[in-house]
Chain A
Amino acid sequence: MSESLANPLLPAPYRVLRNQRNTHDVFTLDVEPVKKGNSPLFSPGQFNMLYIFGKGDAAISISGDPTKEQPLRHTIRRAGVVTQALEQVKPGGVLGIRGPFGVPWPVKEAEGQDVLLVAGGIGLAPLRPAMYTLLANRDKYGRIALFYGARTPEDLLYLSDLEQWRGRFDLQVCVSVDTAKRNWMGDVGVVTKLIAKASFDPSNTVALVCGPEIMMRFSVQELKKNEIKSGNIFLSMERNMKCAVGFCGHCQYGPHFICKDGPVFRYDQVQSLLGKREV
């Protein structure tokens, strides 16, 4: 058992193997434990707390492949002091990690069904492990589709994965950006519009949605318009997580703690809270 799992409040030291730039404000860190041994296993949708000693910590979704042991991978957007410091860490640098935490995507429960993944912006990061898992067990699922929206073509993440996935005959991948210059030959428009173009069996479909809250609200509207049941729609919620184990209350969301009860929720668990100005 890792120290982090034995004592969930104690960060374990991890060494950075690679710091790769994805877009102008998004980067991916590959890390491995400083002490010999494998990183703890994680499930798609879970997150870790990443520490820069002396600066602070931030909750970051795990974006790597859960079907492979190493390295542990996090895709991070520069948004504050901690993520700015994380961006500066060079290979060989050491940071602290606690985790993994949180309720994962129901990929096992979705076996036998069609699966739609709807991602907006950095929301593709926590969905990528789900996609890896689905593809590693492709014969256990019906149709699989990914709908991914970003701000501009320059903000698209994981281009090599997207290219590879688009080349598959057993996967529908649709990408759209909010605005683009003339040299972009792909789709332009909100990601929710792509959902209407999907081919799936609404009575037997699970939808996994991750992105900004308003984008998830509009996505749910579109999924429900396409007759997907509320109980089959799952959202990954985001709030300011600190302790990650439900002690501190920073991430309270109505009756839920997002770190412990989420971040993945069934839509009907959070339906009444979505869209409220103050929760």
Chain B
Amino acid sequence: MELLEKILVQHPFLKDLEQKYVQLMVGCASNVRFDSGTFIYREGDEANYFYILRAGKVALEIHDGGRETITIETLGEGDVLGWAWLVPPYRRHADAQALELTRAIALDGKCLRDKCRDDHNLGYELMMRIVPLITHQLQATQLQLMDVYGVKK
């Protein structure tokens, strides 16, 4: 538990989070590893966990029937994988596949949601950290949709 707490406070996602909240999160945390090629989750799965990545590389992928799978983003050390655990209906929006051996802290989303319900300040702290991730994703999607490197028409 002490080790988990140490890892969590050092991760950029939880920078400056009060110790009492870190301790609350430790109760929902576990150490995990994924071998290269493992699917951490698939689109449509229940979003029970999110992951604080410590090492390795994960690809977020989308596919459309028979077409080739497309990687839309890769995540690595210092990143957070998954935010659907916080937003109903708590379902995954893409596949997540480990591209190399990946180590992470898994946080149980349901456990955390219950704790946020009991302590709104913890909920606020987590929202303030998750919303920028979603905003970043939205901005990145805007840039990708604009195809900014394409020839101007």
Contact surface of A with B, Cβ cutoff 8 Å: 25, 77-79, 120-122, 149-151, 155, 176, 178-182, 184-190, 193, 197, 211-212, 214-215, 218
Contact = CB atoms under 8 A, between A and B. Distances in A.
Contacts of A77: 151
A189 B70 contact: no
B139 interface: yes
A22 B74 CA distance: 25
Nearest to B76: A187
A178 B69 contact: no
Query: For B70, B72, B143, which residue has the most chain A Cβ atoms within 10 angstroms?
Result: B143
B59 interface: yes
12 contacts: A77-B151, A79-B152, A120-B149, A121-B148, A151-B150, A178-B149, A179-B144, A182-B61, A186-B74, A187-B74, A190-B143, A211-B148
Interface of B: 59, 61, 68-74, 76, 78, 99, 136, 139-140, 143-144, 146-152
Contact of A215 (B71, B72, B148, B152): B148
Contacts of B72: 179, 188
A155 B150 CA distance: 10
Secondary structure class of chain B's binding surface, majority of residues: mixed
Contacts, number: 68
A179 B99 contact: no
A24 to B, nearest CB: 11
Nearest to B137: A189
A214 B152 CA distance: 12
A180 B73 CA distance: 9
Given A182-B68, A193-B140, A188 B148 contact: no
